[in-house]
């Protein structure tokens, strides 16, 4: 079922290290997003994934 929150995989890659802004350098989730994940519904999880993807893209632009 597409709306089943269990079908939305966590972005965690088990490389957890927070930067000075409390963003994980492994998955690019904020600390609040990480702590929210377990209780988040599917809409919130999608927002978290979109935010993390944008942060990763922004970080890669800086590194380029």
Secondary structure in 3-state letters for 32-45: HHHHHHHHCCHHHH
Per-residue pLDDT tens digits for 23-53: 999 999 999 999 999 999 999 999 999 999 9
The confidence score (pLDDT) of residue 64 equals 72
What are phi and psi for residue 46, nearest 5 degrees?
A: -65, -40
Burial group, residue 34, by CB count within 10 angstroms (0-12, 13-18, 19+): buried
pTM of the model: 0.86
Where are the domains positioned within the chain? 16-63
């Amino acid at each position: 079922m597409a709306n089943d929150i269990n079908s939305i995989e966590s972005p965690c890659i088990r490389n957890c290290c927070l930067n000075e802004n409390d963003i994980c350098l492994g998955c690019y989730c904020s600390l609040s997003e990480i702590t929210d994940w377990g209780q988040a519904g599917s809409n919130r999880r999608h927002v978290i994934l979109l935010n993390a993807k944008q942060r990763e893209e922004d970080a890669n632009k800086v590194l380029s």
